[in-house]
Structures are given as structure tokens and as C-alpha cells.
Structure 1
């Protein structure tokens, strides 16, 4: 190795085309071009890879290990000239050789360029490949490769030399080329003899491996070894994704020889790069070398067709568009490497339907997929839609090596306003009844060739003449596009009998530029007004008259008539009264004269603010008859027809003149000047009025009444007061003021004693109180009676059913003889067989048991009437007992048996008369001795022998 060379330089020199068999090793390591479409890579497919010349002296064996040693780093190309010997002419996409740029810090990012870009290009990994196919000649044998630093803009260059190798007959017979080795780097020795620390940034050139390789597998890639294998027995291994991590098993290594192989075809679209790490350990597992990184790049092959994002693309273009108008963009993607020709797509239009007016109405940008117009004549009314078949081809559109796919582009020609609306007729006719609004008079129809229900088709109507007062309007029907002429203001037949309107129609949007048609169409509309019977109307309405109140009945007030607007119909009008709250007026049905039928009174409750309202109806004799109403307002002038009255009508004062007096005023229903000021006075008779009282006028509306004497006995006094108003003539009235004279305290107020004495209950209140007391007493008495009756019923119920006397509810003891039975409390005679029942004919007397159900027919009980009263419980019990005694089938069937008595008179009969198959003497009663001491007496009685 040359002293002072960097490890990267050493690696580059070792792998350079001038010093190593690049073509063979590159084929095995996958250092092939990435942009060739359809071009088989060397080492995997034919044609055979280019053959490089042997390295210059001193020759290095091909199996010489790759040794990386620390040295001074130099940025740039490690070689001045890269050369390659080719065994054939240059083909498109053919990888030629690999140039390597060395970066000391490893941070530079360079971009490669060729001095002959039309023939050669360099990818980002430094692989030089052919852009097109051509025969190699001397003028193309040399060119330059540039490297540009993207940040510092520095530039380096290196020469590339290509030459043809003459065909050798024995080339095919040569043996297989040896596999390249990668040797673990060794740290260089220092001057003092010690080892120098190894750097961590050793870079092993990546291994390029084409995807979809056909094998055979496993395919050997490279051999990894360590210099220490001469003295130690080593074991090699690789780790990382593709080896011992998912996806596992793709790469394997021979642990003894270090041979790294691939076991299956690779797919760049799944994994484009593998990062492995190689290890070397001794047989004890101890690490011998530091791990090294191995990068395997999967070289792309053209194995994926372009795929459109959508199978059907939709676009629009306005009709009449000029050539060059943008329509839409179609896009396809290719899973292959987009940085190579495998992923570079080109678009073209295969077909257009329909082909009118030109078969090439559109074109497409072969790189971007933009579709634009190239011909004029787009007319939606003729062709509203075009269908294009678009093809996308990779390898930059190569028809030989490229893969392609198709999609459909549907282009809709949108409408523009190139056709104005046109009326179907020049004149339209309609009629309308007078005084009607919101009535459709005429229906205007137009035609428009533009697309329906678009602004270019929707018509807008307007009235351009014949309607100065604005009585008509035109609305557009959104469905039919017709114009509806309507009346918006009432029309009087007597004023206007016919209208001739001028109407115009145009679209919502202006016509497109360059259209030669006029922008609007015009027509006339003749509207005839039809005369109809109208309502009569009063003039004026309301009518106001002024009259004094108090007019006598029969007085003619005014004439209230109506007019008929139908002057040409010669109709008559009749009048009737519609509303007259006080029933004061009458109207003549022919001439409309209004007269009084009662006296008009301004003070009537039907008069509001001096105005009386009456409503009248005017009806004509048309068909159908029409009517109108009018209001007559009578403003009533006041006259002095109401006498004043004293207010208040009741008052109270003290027995002495001091300290208070009574203030009074007057009430007059008339208004000024027939009301106040008032005059107050006392009558001359009776004489005690003026003797006891005196009145003093305070002002025109108020006066004061006082005692004239020093003391007046407490009581109620009626004091007449004469009040006179200011009318012309004045009107007087004598009103009575009821005055209560009472004892007063020091403050001049009536004492509480007088109020209490004076207070009392009326007759109605007393009667109500007495009625309440009587009702309360009746309720108490009824409650007492109800309680006594309930106690009596409860006692009777206890007599009827007494739980203590119900023998059937008790547990009877049958181990006692004699009178020990608990049912001895019953009257046993009631439980005996009645005398009316005959003994059973089949059994002798005394044999039948009384506690079994008789076999006689059950008697029919008589229907008992309900008890006359729940209180007669005794009769009820006796009646039931009697019915039970006469019923032989009624329970209980048992009877009280007396066991200590035999013979006649016993209801049980004689015990000796019982039938038995043997006599008592024949029985053996010795077994009674076995029953125990409790049966000793019984055993002695029956088993005692002679005793």
C-alpha cells in the first residue's frame, strides 16, 4: 500500500476499474446501472458483462484481501482516470463502471454529471451507464465525470476511458472468477511499536445486487475474513434485517469460510437497502474483530407497470375555448425507482371519441400529464362530452422496453352563454278582472339552446314599455323558464280598459364574447281589463255632523249616500242600518236620509268623548250584489239638562260645632259652561234646618256645612241642600245629605263606643248563624246514633259466633270417660236424633251409631225470609237451630257417649248385643300382660283366670 493513502483511497483504488476486475466483481456485487429499462445486468443475464484490463504492475492477486489502513485523507476522486474494457457495443441502460468520490468527513453530498449527457449519465451511487445504444468508437472512448458539492459548490472531475476488448476464442472456457473478499480493517502500528486506536468511520463500499435475480440460490456475494484466521480458528456471522432480524434468512454466511450469500430473489419495492453487520469471534465466542457494516443496495429492475390514481378521470372545458386551454391533469405512479428510467413515465393519448370536429382536439404533456386543447370548435350543443384513452409508459416512454397502462379521461364541454333566449311569438294576449291582484295575465314562452337550468339558459324578463304606473310584473318559472305576467296593483275598468306591454328577455349572464346574436329578445303583451261589479262606497267615510243633544224624535239629521263605481251598469243602491247601539236613528232605504227616532242624550253610555257612532250599509242590485259600509259620527253638543247633586251623600260630625265641619261639593253630568261654579243654599222649610245648620261657600265647586247651634243630640239627620249650576238657564236641585251626629273625642273623631253601639248584625247574619248551629247539632246526634247501633250489631255478632263455644274448633280428648268431654257444655238434647225421624229398618234399635251420616233423604229447607232487623238476633239463632235439628244429614254426626252405663236408656245400646264371631270367653287375653304396667288392671280383668 502506498504510504500516506487514506483508508477510503485504498478502498477506492482497490475497487477502481484500473486496478480490479470491476466488471466481474460488479456483476456479482450488483454494481449495475439503475436506469436501464429492459437491459439485463451483467453477471445475471446476457449479454456478458464488460471485461476490464488487468491492473498495472505491481500486479495484485485477485484474491488479495481488502485492507483498510489509516492514512492522510484527500477529498476528491482517488483516481485520475477510470477505464473499462467492454466486450460489446454500448446498449441503452447498460452499466459501464463505478466511480467513487472520497469525502474525509463523510458529510459531503455530491452530485455527479457527465460531460456527454446525451450518451452517458451517472447515478447518485457513482454508477456510469449508457443513455442510449450506439457502437463504441474512438471519439466516444473518453469523457469526463464531474462531482459537485451541493453546499460549497466545489467541483471535482475525473476522466473515464472506454475501449473494446477483442473477442477471444478461449474466453468462454475460462474458469469462474474468484469472489471478492472484505477483510476486517486492522489498526496501523505507531512509530513506538504500539497499535494506534482504530477509527470508527471505516466505510465499506456498498454491494449492489439486482432484484428479481433468477439464481441459482444461494448466490455467493462476497467473502468476509480476518487476518487473524492464520493463528486462530474463527467463526463469522452477520446480523441485521434480512439475516437474523425480520425478514430473516435472506442473507446467510458460512461461519467457517465467511462466504456471504443471498438465498432468494430480492424485491426493491419492498426493501431497497439492507444494512448488515459482520462479526468475527473465536471458538470460545470472544470477539476478535470489531464489527463492520455491510450495505447491500437492491438495484431496481423494470418489473412494475405504471398505475393511474384513477381509472376514470373527469374534467371540464368551456365550449368555444381557444387552443392551449388547460383542461385537466392525469397522474400515474410507478412502484419502480423514480430516480431511474424504470420509474420515469411518459403520457400520450391513444384515442379520442367522438372525433368531431377534429380527431385531435386535445393533447397531453408527456411528462406532467396535463391535457390541453389544441384545436378550436368546441361546441356543447354539438358535442357535449369527449372520451380520451390515456397511456402511461415507463422507461421514459420507450416502446421497446417500457411497460404501460391505460386510463380513461372523460372531458365534459361546459356551457357558455352563446345562445340568447328567443320568444316563441312576437305577440301575447291576456285578460284580467278589475281590482284583482296577484293574477297571472299571460304566459310568455322562450327557447334557449344553452344547457337547461344554468345561468346561460335561465331567462330574466322585464317590462320595457306600456306600464308607466307599475301595475304589472313578470316572474320567471324556474322549471319551464316561462315568463309569468302578473298584476301587482288593482286596475279600474272605468279608468283603463286595456294595456299593451313591451317585454324583453335575456339570460342571467351576458353573452359570451364574439357572439353575433343580439343580447335580448322582445315581444308585446296585450292585456284586456274585464269589468266586474264593485262595492258601493260612501263619500265621505266616516261622515261627521254636529248636533245638540235633546233633539226630538223625527228630526232629520243629514243625508248619507253612497256611490257606485260601476257607472256603465246603471245599478240602484238601497240603504240599511247596520249598527245603532242606542237605537236613536233611522235611514231612508232609497235616498239615505237619516232621522231620529229617540231623543239624543250626550250623557248616554253609548256616547264616547261626545261622539256617537252609527254604521250603515249600501247594497246595489248587481249580479252578484255588492255592498259597502259607512260610518256616521254625530258630535253631540251639551245642553243644561242635568241638575247638580250633592257629594258626598253621607257624612258625620260632632255634637258640637267645633272642631270639625263637613265639606261638600256637587256632581253635574253636564260639561262647561252648564256645570260649575255652583251655588249652595239651605231650604226655608222645615225651619229647623236653618236653625240647626249653616252652609258656607268656599269656592265655585266646594262648600262647608256646620252646626249652627252649640249642641245637637247624637243621631242621624237628613239635611236638604239646594245646588244651582251655571247653565243658561241655570238648573237647581235639592239633594239630601245624611249626617250622622256622634260623640267625639278631643281630636274631633267619633268615639269607639258609638261605633260599637252603632255596629250590629243584620237579620240575614243572625239567621245564618242559627242555621249553622242547628246543622252542627244534627251531625252530632247522627254520630251518636251510629255509634250505638254499631255496638249493638257487634254484640249480636258475638252471640251468633262465639269462638269459645264452637266445639268443632277445639281439640277433644278421647282418653277420658264420663263427663270429661268438652262438648258437654252444649245442650245435648238438641244434638239427639229427632223424634220425627224413623229408625233405620235394616238395623235394630240401639245398633246404629249416631255419629255416622244417616242415609235418609235430605229434607228441603224452607226459604227463610230475611231477618226483619239485625237486632232481632235471637229469632235468627233459634230459627237456624230449629232447621239444624230437623236435618238428619247436618253435622256433627257424633254424640256424647256415656261409657259407664249400660242397659236400657243408653243411646249406644247394649254392648252384649254386638255381633261377634266368638264369645269373650274364647279370647286369650294374656298378651295384655305384655303391654306394661299401665294396662295391668285391664290384664287382670281379662286374664286373671278364676279371680
Structure 2
């Protein structure tokens, strides 16, 4: 029992809970229903309602949920999302009842009754004061007008109305684009009933849309509602045909592959975009075998790979553009597209003849033989058209050259090396013509043509065979030795009869050619070491002359074989050995031999038999040896005998002068000797040479005074030196006559440039004497000149001989001795003797008309004064002594001249 009681109690509790929840839900729904005020909409409207007329507005007052959707039960009316009721079409009513289904955001449905009643204008006016309404927004749907519509005009479009017209007597006004602004007066409005009309046709391409506003006023001129924005769309008509835009000229290479894009044709349509009115289709009406066009992109492509510029260089393709996607009723335009084919080298040059013939005389060179004409279908004056010619067969010897005439494009065949009729009377050639650029196309190739060239015969001179003769000869062979024979043949009869041979070039005059036989004999010693020999070869040229005086030329190359005719020589025999810190020093001795191996290196170096044991040799190489001190030696000059022999043992003993000195510094690791005094280095013989040189310079100064001349001006010697010296003799010398004014000597043909006399160098001789450095003298026509580059003991004398080529001119001073420096003085003495004899001559034009007189005693009052050397050289600040020779010169000339005639 208890158990059943418990079960009954639990069921009772569950029932109470469910009843409570149901009551709560009923209460909520009741409160919600009670909160929503669903009143019917009562509206008085005109009897005639235009489409888009705003009736009233549906609202749910007091509802928690917001309305989201409205549905009208009458198809003549629609409800906007904001609850505004609008007529769908124009209609006339007396009364109208329908309902609007409202759905809120909770998906609850509510129904609102709409009751419309028609009230006449008088009743509206009487009741307008009693039923005032607040302003509402009026939003009619956009109106539309068809462009370019046909008359009659004006045409009614739509009616606009404000719901304030229910309560007021109103009138309407419009303003804005198409009304009060451009285009003015296009739209008009019936101010009483709100009917909007268009007055004329309109072009959509010019005005696609109009925007203006409408306002509503009561009879007092007060706006009874907010202004209404009105939009009028101009509906498009397909009244514009497509038009071409952009360029219509394209280029493409001939023989391009199929599918090559050539270009794109562009078009436009003024009608409304993204409609069938602007959907353009492209159609190609000709040249369809060559090109194709995409119907909707206008891209032109090549349809074949055989486009040929030579057949047609420009293609005029007619293209149609039609709108409506190409439909028959679409509007269209047609235009021409020009496609230019550019040239490629697909045509080789072709010859006009199958065989060319020409003729040329033998031995002719650099002559034009013939012209070869070709044709090329490619574009003229382009690399595809310009021809290049080549002799591809028959020019193995390089006899021919081909060029191209730039104006006619003809091939010009030249002979650049003479042809030989006896060898080839008929030359067969093959000429190939090409272009400057490669050919295009698999089936094209360069063409060739044969050419026969006849060689004309003519009498030719003898020809040497071979053209260059090589002979091997040992140097130093005896004169008169026959080294070979070089003969020439007559090309016509192939023999050497009547041909004579002459030598053309032989720089060393080593070879003699036998005139009748062509034998080559040695005339002088052949020396391989001569500077005329290059790489052991010596060249001579021979001329052969036949009986008709025609000549031929040949060359003989003598390859000279070496013999051992030169011994090793030490070129630098004066060596310097620098000692440092009491260490034994050494110096490198090098030798040279003009011969080649095996007659030269490696050399054998040995100390001479007279060596004193102070030296030793080490570190011998092929051409050098190191000379080293065997014992320590003081500084000084030492002579060391060295025997140098070549590989064959041919050589001689040579003396090397080694100067031992003390190192003061090092440069690049090599010791450098210090400075030394001139007296210690020259020795007694050097000092004597210096004294003699000073005396010689004194004499030369005197001679310069006597014979200097500038620009043919006369030379005078002044007599007013003012010296007090006197020349004493056993007899007395009278003052003597005045020497005539004038130049002492005129040098015929001599010109003076910058104070120096010009003359030719005639002769030079070397005189070897004691070693050392002194100076160099040059005796030249017109003066004596000194330099400072001559080694002491080696003097060069030059005599140009420009004194009328008489007893003084063209003289060669002879060397007297090779051992004594005093011989130099004697040589100069002879020169001075001849000079004095020349001035003492009584020949007409000389300045010795006043003969020299000798007196027994020269007194104190002599007008000549002293003739001492010092008086002559004392006045160097004045050159007035040149104005006259004066009496001062005469005693000196008399003494010297008399001594010369009586002495030595």
C-alpha cells in the first residue's frame, strides 16, 4: 500500500509542474498578443489610382517582435519592406478591402485588414482640417523610358502621388535633370494628378539615366510631404552598329608556321554593355585560305605555313563586325585589315646561264675576267638579296678572287696570280652564289654554275726551276769554289739554250754567277757570323735573260754550315773585386764564342802558366767561371792570365785586369767600391797623359783664334792686347808693315749654323795606347773640336777637307805609334805645320802680303809688343782682337814657319 501511495504522489507532482508551465506559456502568449495593437488600416484615396501610388503604411504597434515580411492578398497592391502599401498598376475604385499578412522575426503571422474608400474632392476638402496626417516618405519604383522612341509626343510614363493627398488638396512640382537642367523640358508633370510625361525622344548613349525630384504642396504653398527622388532609366535599343578601334595594319614573316598570331582587331559598340546589343562577332570574308580570325576576340592567326611574300607582299583582308552575337538582325560594320608579309631569305640567287665562258692572257694579274649575273626574288638591297660569290672548285692555287658589284649584284671574277698557258690552257671553275644571311626552308640550297676560262698564250721569259734553290755551304770555303748551278728554262721550248745569267742582289758580294752556265762560285769568304746572315741563311737573287731580252728571276738561299773559326773571348777584361772584412773575394768571368755547338760552349777555363798562385777558379758553368783570391791581397790593380778554350780545345790565353778595392756599401747584395783619386788610379803614364793633354788644348785654343769664321764675316786678330812681353832674338826686328784689314781666311762653301761650322765627316782612325780616360779630338774642316768621351790612348782624328781641296784639304792624319802618348803631340805638330804653311802662302787672296821679316834684336819699343802665349789668352773679356791680325801675329808666324822650313 505504501508503495502505491508513493507512486501516486510522484505522478501528482509531475502533473502540477506541467500545468504550471502551460499556464506560464499561456500567460506569455496572452501578454504578447495583448501588447500588439492590430488595427485595420482605413484610407481614403482618389477614385483613379496610378501605378506606384502610395496608399498607406502597415505598422504593428506594441509588438515585441519586429515585422520582417509583408504579403498582400490583392495582386493589385504590394507592400514594401517598410510596410508601405503601393499600387502595382493603375486602377479605379469606389471601395476596396483586402488584407496584408505580416510575419515577425519570431515567425509569427499577423493579419491586418486594409479598407480603402473613395471620397469626392468636396468631402476631402471639408474633412481635410479634421484628418491631418504626418509627413511620410514616398519611394516609387524607378521609371523607365525607351530610347529613341517613336512619336507622337508627349507620352505618359507614370503617375506620382503622395499619401498626403488623402488629407490635403495638393499639387506637384518637379525639378532637376531633364526638367530644369540640361536637357531642359524633357520631362513634364501634371501638377494636379502627378502624371509624368516625356516630351521627345532621348538617346541612351547620351543620357543613360535621369535623376530629379518631385515636391508636393497644399493650396497654401506649404510642403505636405518630404520631396520624392525620382529616377528615370533610359532603356537601350540596338541602334548603334559596332565600330573598329585601334590600328588595322599588321606584319608577319613569310613562311611563318601555322597558328602564328599576327594581331588583334578591336571593335566597340555604343549600346549598353554586357547585353546582346554589344556582343560583337568577327567574321573574315576573304583570304580565308591564308588567315583565320577568332569570332569573339578578333585575334588574327596564320592558317598555313606557306605564306609567300614573293607571290603577294600585302594582303587586304575584309572583316565584318556584327552585334547581337552575329545574329541576322544584328547591326554590323565592315572594314579592311592590311597584313604585310615581311621578307625572309627563302630564295637563293639563281644564275641566268647554265655555263659561263671567259678568256684571259697568261701571266696577267689583278685583271677582271668576267661578270656573272644572278637573280634573287627576295627583297632588293637587303641581306636576303645581296649575293656573295665564291670559286668553290678550281682555285686550289689561289689564282682567283671574286667580288660583288654593289649596284648590279653581279659577281666579278678577278685573276690575282698569273696563269700559265703551258701548264693549263683551259681552267675549269665552279662558282657558287650565296646571300649574306642563311637560307630559310628545308628545300632551299645554294646554287652553283660551271665556268670555263681559256688561257691565251704569249711569249714568256725564262723560268727558274725551282723558284727557290737551297744550297748548303760550309763557311770559309776557298774562293772560286763551285757551290751549285741554277738554271732557267724557256717555257715554250723547255730548254736553257741562249739563256744568260746575272746576279741581281748579293749583299756581301760573296757569290759569282757564271753568265753562260748559271754556275755559282764563291767570290769572297763566306762568314756565318756576318750580320748579313740571318738564322744561318744568306740570300741572293739571280736574273735569267733569253735571246729575246725577256727575263726571269730566281732566288738562291745558301744555308751556311758552321766551322770552328772563332775562339772564346772574354769581352770585359777590366773587372772589379770588392773585398770586405778580410774575406777572400771573387768575381765572375764570362766568355763568348760566335760559333755554334759543338764549336763553342761548354768552355774550358784554366789559369795561365804565368799566374803567381794568388788566384784560383771555381763554379765553372758552360760560359763562365768564378775567379777567387787564393790569398788575401792589398788593394790595387792585378793582371791575371786565363786560358779559355771551346769544346774542341780551340782557344787562347787572355789577360784579365782585376782591380781589388775595399767595399764601402752594398747595393742589391753586391759590394760597391769607394771613390779613388785620379792620380792613384792613373799612374805615372796617366799623369803624363794629362800634362800632354793640357798642352794640346792650349794649341787648339790658338788655332781656334786663327781660323774661326761666322757667316762669312772676316776674321781679325787684335793687336792691342797691351802685353809687355818681348820675344828676344840675336838680331833686331823692325816693327814691320801693317797687315791689311780683312779676313784671315775665307772657307769656300762653308755655312755657319748656331756658331758651328758645318762639314762632312771624312775619316776616323783609332789609336790604342795606355788604358785610362782622357778625351777625344775631332779635327773638322773649319775648326778643331774636343769631346770628353774618348778613352785615353784611343784617339779619333777626323779631317773633312773643305779648304778648296788644296794642300790643306782631304788630309788624313797618320798615327805614329801605338805605344807612346807623345805621338799625339807629333801628330798635332804636323797638322799645325801645314796650317802655318797655308797662312804663309803668298797666293793672291791670302793675308800674307806683308812678308815676315827677321831682325837681329827686338828692342823695348817694338809696336808689336810681346808675342807670348799668355798675352794672347789674357784678354778674354774682349773680342776686338778679331778685327785685324795685327803685327803681333807676324813674329809668331815667322818663328813657327821658319822653324817648320828649317827644322824637323
State the TM-score bracket (shorter-chain normalisation).
0.3 to 0.5
State the TM-score, normalizing by the size of structure 1. 0.42
State the TM-score, normalizing by the size of structure 2. 0.43
